[in-house]
Chain A
Amino acid sequence: MLHIDEGRLHAYLDGELSERERTAIEEHLSICDDCQAAYEAAAALSQRASALTSELEPGSLNVPSWREIEERAVARRGEVRRRSWIRPSMAWAASIAIAFGLGWFSNSYWLRFPTSFESPSGPAATALPATRGQTAAEAVVDERLSEESGTPHEREAFREVKEAEEQNRKNETGAGRATARQLSQDELQVANEDRIQVPTAALKADRDEAAPVERSRTKAQPADAVAAPREVAAPPEAVLPAEAEAPTEMIIRPAEQPAANRAARPLIAAEGARPDAAVVGALKTEARTFADSETPGTPSSFFAVSSDAATMWLGVELRTLPELTLRNVEVGPGGTIGGGQRGLPVVRLTYEDAAGQIITLTQQRLDRDSDSGEDEPVLEMDPSGPNSYRWADGAYRMSLTGVISSDSLRALAARVR
Chain B
Amino acid sequence: MDLSQVYREHYRSLVRFLYRRIGDLARAEDLAQEAFVRALEHQPAKPRAWLFTVAANLARDEGRRAAVRRRHLTLIKAEAQALPPEPGPEVALVRREEVRRVQAALSRLTGRDREALLLWEEGFSYDEIAEVLGLSRGSMGTTLARARTRLVAAYEELESQGSDEDVAH
Contact = CB atoms under 8 A, between A and B. Distances in A.
The interface size bin for chain B is 35 or more
B37 A52 contact: no
B102 A56 contact: yes
A7 B141 contact: yes
A63 interface: yes
A69 B40 contact: yes
A61 B148 CA distance: 27
A58 B19 contact: yes
A58 B82 contact: yes
A50 interface: yes
Nearest to B84: A59
Contacts, number: 110
Interface stretch (A8-16, A166-174, A183-191): A8-16
A211 interface: no
B56 to A, nearest CB: 15
Contacts of A16: 125-126, 140-141
A45 B102 contact: no
A50 B29 contact: no
Nearest to B18: A58
B110 interface: no
B41 A49 contact: no
B102 A10 contact: no
A348 to B, nearest CB: 56
Nearest to A42: B145
A77 B140 CA distance: 38
Interface in B20-35: 20, 23, 25, 28-29, 33
Contact of B37 (A5, A45, A63, A69): A69
A206 to B, nearest CB: 77
Contacts of A49: 117, 147-148, 151-152
Interface in B123-169: 125-126, 139-145, 147-149, 151-152, 155
Contacts of A179: none
Contacts of A85: none
B140 A69 contact: no
Contacts of A9: 141, 145
A76 interface: yes
A73 B155 CA distance: 41
A7 B41 contact: no
Nearest to B149: A45
Contact of B81 (A58, A63, A69, A72): A58
Residue picked from A53, A63, A70, most chain B C-beta under 10 Å: A53
A62 interface: yes
A163 interface: no
B141 A56 contact: no
A33 to B, nearest CB: 20
B40 A70 contact: yes
A45 B15 contact: no
A192 B30 CA distance: 77
A61 B15 contact: yes
A72 B149 contact: no
A52 B82 contact: no
A57 interface: yes
A147 interface: no
A57 B102 CA distance: 11
B98 to A, nearest CB: 6
A6 interface: yes
B145 A7 contact: yes
Nearest to B152: A48
Contacts of B148: 10, 45-46, 48-49
A53 B144 CA distance: 13
B103 interface: yes
A194 to B, nearest CB: 62
B37 A72 contact: yes
Residue picked from A14, A52, A63, most chain B C-beta under 10 Å: A52
A7 to B, nearest CB: 3
B152 A52 contact: yes
30 contacts: A5-B142, A6-B141, A6-B142, A7-B140, A7-B145, A9-B145, A10-B141, A11-B126, A14-B120, A14-B141, A16-B126, A45-B148, A52-B102, A52-B152, A53-B102, A55-B98, A56-B16, A56-B19, A56-B23, A56-B82, A56-B103, A57-B82, A58-B19, A58-B81, A59-B25, A61-B11, A66-B8, A69-B37, A72-B37, A73-B37
Given A9-B145, A55-B99, 14 more contacts: A5-B142, A14-B144, A16-B125, A42-B145, A48-B148, A53-B151, A56-B99, A57-B16, A58-B28, A58-B81, A61-B12, A61-B15, A61-B29, A73-B41
Question: 6 closest A-B pairs (Cβ-Cβ)?
Answer: A7-B142, A11-B141, A7-B141, A49-B148, A73-B40, A10-B145
